[in-house]
Amino acid sequence: NAGVTQTPKFQVLKTGQSMTLQCAQDMNHEYMSWYRQDPGMGLRLIHYSVGAGITDQGEVPNGYNVSRSTTEDFPLRLLSAAPSQTSVYFCASRYRSSGTHYEQYFGPGTRLTVT
Amino acid sequence: AQSVTQPDIHITVSEGASLELRCNYSYGATPYLFWYVQSPGQGLQLLLKYFSGDTLVQGIKGFEAEFKRSQSSFNLRKPSVHWSDAAEYFCAVGAQLTGGGNKLTFGTGTQLKVEL
């Protein structure tokens, strides 16, 4: 299987533009989440989902929307991009059941630049 | 709230030398601890994890880490570093979220350079 896939790999936006970062997984994982990675700050949780139709905010949700209509897909939407959203975005997923507590699988990332 | 500190931003070692990357955590309950590695332009790969039991855990690529509750530490070690180990290493602590999700809190990372 392909694991966690993200598209696009790179994107440049102008301030105020909108776009959707795609994330898909083929491991039938219930949990999916989005992180952003900024220099010197590690990874920070933006939004997460515990299953289809259920989403919640992480620690840095402002400026981002998510939805989870299927188990496989978890898109991240930027409605009006700002330079502060320049970052590398990672999608992650994991099983709900115990035995692999919190072991998350990460996608390859999307590098976003907002000018 | 949980937090993770990786005090070394950059570390340089010679190939074949031993390696220890430091990680200190703050968490109110029994921690679930992880080490991830990120090669340039790549996503994060899990090296090893600690949930309970033996405090010395073995991971992939010859890495190991030791959980020391008294020191709130989870340092990563490798007895002999290979040039291919050059990457950025992240320590993380896992926590359950209200509603059933989970969150990984990451440290700021340690960039490892290997000199040939």
> Assign residue A99 a region: left if phi > 0, alpha if psi is -120 to 50, beta otherwise?
left
pLDDT of residue B53: 82
Segment 34-73 of chain B within 8 Å of chain A by CB: 34, 36, 42-46, 49, 51
C-alpha distances out from residue B65 to A26, A53, B19, B60, B68, Å: 31, 38, 11, 11, 10
Partnered with residue A93 across adjacent β-strands are: A32, A105
Query: Burial level of B80, CB count in 10 A (0-12/13-18/19+)?
Result: exposed
What span, in angstroms and rounded, lies between the C-alpha atoms of A76 and A30? 17
What span, in angstroms and rounded, lies between the C-alpha atoms of A77 and B34? 29
pLDDT of residue A13: 97
Residues in B touching A49 (Cβ below 8 Å): 101
Contact B43 A109 (CB under 8 A): yes
The answer to whether A5 and A23 are in contact (CB under 8 A) is: yes
* Shortest CA gap B107–chain A (Å): 6
What span, in angstroms and rounded, lies between the C-alpha atoms of B15 and B60? 18
pLDDT of residue B41: 78
pLDDT by position in tens, chain B (length 116)? 788 999 999 999 999 999 999 999 998 777 889 999 999 878 899 999 998 888 899 999 999 999 999 999 999 999 999 999 999 999 999 877 666 666 788 999 999 999 99
Question: HSE (CB half, 13 Å, CA atoms) of A54?
Answer: 11
* Count of CB atoms situated within 10 Å of the CB of B51: 18
Chain A interface residues (partner B, CB cutoff 8 A): 4, 31, 33, 40-45, 48-50, 54, 56, 58-59, 90, 94, 96, 101-109
Contact A101 B94 (CB under 8 A): yes
CB-CB: which of A33, A101, A103 is closest to B46? A103
Residue A43 pLDDT more than 60? yes
What is the mean pLDDT of the segment spanning A88-111? 82
* Count of CB atoms situated within 10 Å of the CB of B69: 10
Nearest-CA residue of chain B relative to A42? Answer: B108
Residue A39: cis peptide before it, omega within 30 degrees of 0 = no
Looking at the complex, does the CB of residue B109 fall below 8 Å from at least one CB of chain A? yes
